[in-house]
Amino acid sequence: MRIRYSEAAAGLALALGCSAPALAGDGDVAGPAVEVAPYAPDSGTLAIHCGSLIDGLAGRPLGATTVVIRDGRIVALEAGRSAPAGVPVLDLGDRTCLPGLVDMHTHLTDRPGDTADLSIYYRRTLEQQLPLALENAHTTLLAGFTAARDVGTYIGWADRAMRDEIDAGRAPGPRVQVAGFYLTIPGGGGDLVIPGRAESEIPARVRMGVARGPEEFRRKAEQAVAGGADLLKLIASGAVLAYGGVPGEPEMTPEEIRAVVEVAHRNGLKVAAHAHGARSIKEAILAGADTIEHASLIDDEAIALAREHGVALSMDVYNGDYIDTEGRRQGWPEEFLRKNLETTEAQRQGFTKAHAAGVRIVYGTDAAVYPHGLNARQFPIMVQRGMTPMEAIQ
């Protein structure tokens, strides 16, 4: 599909008006909206003058650069402020441009307003969830994030339906990899069991990945692969925003984790392992998981293992603030608020230690815990906790 130029600009993160110095501050990183100049429909070309450019490769911003976009694709980078004759120009003055950003941990089908009453997912159908997902995906794109992993949805395959609409050109959104559904134990962090509600009330569409034992997890993983998942998401430990579980305690066994990993790797897919507790982090790494999600209670041994095995950490170090303020104001369950307080500062300390130890950390925010489109709010926390602005961007 042809991307509108407002969206192509978002792909350069121009909608953020973002620059490396801005990431060091305490406030929002979003700048004022940029009006995109009219473009010539017959040429489909636009030149953007940037005050400086971060290309994601160099260790510093480059000087003034002109970015040329044709038919929704970046086709040239030219030093200075030159533009082909007859091509409309968007002059951003001294603003810094950077490539489209990647969020490695989102839940594009979900919304933070649903957390106060998760039983909403008992009533919603995939057909009802899809328009919400597409709206969230478009919002994410316009925030400058042109690629994302969707690492789990309560309504099975809602993320696949969203991805397929985007890929077919019927809806605007980032390039998305999807997991299809959570692989989780009964009553685990990915199972939508709610106190006071009978399990018979829970529709099958929100329990597609519930399993127990290596063979059953292997079968569920194979179903996810056959259904078109781009990655597999397993819930190795208890969760913060789920009833009954303890974030620091294991839920899946090493054998169950290994069964999922074997299926994924045999089919060329990666495994994202939700693991807050140190024991679950270590077991997931040793079982072959490719990324550890959250890693809130990581210890020195787990940090060393992650470095040794080349496993990346996706640590959502911003959203604890949102949960403690907006979640409390919106009446989220007290259990969720308590577990958030038990993990937020520990996770940030672990982030600092893991970064100092040279562990690879990817940018993952857990968008849907907070509103979609605010993904960039994690950058300042990463800088405050030890990264340089350029390291956070890269």
Is residue 291 within 8 A of residue 313, CB to CB? The reply is yes
Taking 50 as the pLDDT cut, the residues of the chain under it are 1-11, 13-42
**Are 288 and 325 in a shared domain?**
yes
Domain end marker among 41, 62, 97: 97
Q: How far is CA 6 from CA 108, 261, 301, 372, in A?
A: 21, 40, 46, 18
**Are 189 and 248 in a shared domain?**
yes
Rounded distance between C-alpha atoms, residue 104 and residue 174, angstroms: 12
pLDDT in tens, 309-348: 999 999 999 999 999 999 999 999 999 999 999 999 999 9
Classify residue 169 as left (phi > 0), alpha (psi -120 to 50) or beta.
left
**Are 238 and 368 in a shared domain?**
yes
Domain end marker among 97, 112, 135: 97
**Are 78 and 174 in a shared domain?**
no
Q: How far is CA 104 from CA 120, 291, 347, 361, 375, in A?
A: 26, 10, 17, 10, 11
**Are 172 and 122 in a shared domain?**
yes
**pLDDT computed for residue 5 by the predictor:** 34
**Are 93 and 107 in a shared domain?**
no
Residues 6+ apart with CB under 8 A from 261: 271, 287, 288, 289
**Are 257 and 303 in a shared domain?**
yes
**Are 53 and 160 in a shared domain?**
no
Residues 6+ apart with CB under 8 A from 230: 149, 163, 177, 178, 179, 269
For residue 290, give the CATH number of its domain.
Answer: 3.20.20.140
Count each helix (H run) and each strand (E run) in the chain, helices first: 13, 15
Rounded distance between C-alpha atoms, residue 20 and residue 16, angstroms: 12
**Are 80 and 122 in a shared domain?**
no
Domain end marker among 97, 124, 148: 97
**Are 25 and 162 in a shared domain?**
no
**Are 142 and 260 in a shared domain?**
yes
Query: What is the distance, to the nearest Å, from the Cα of residue 250 to the centroid of all Cα atoms in its chain?
Result: 23
**Are 250 and 155 in a shared domain?**
yes
**pLDDT computed for residue 16 by the predictor:** 35
Q: What is the 8-class DSSP label of residue 35?
A: P
Range of the domain at 68: 5-97
Is residue 27 within 8 A of residue 377, CB to CB? The reply is no
For residue 47, give the CATH number of its domain.
Answer: 2.30.40
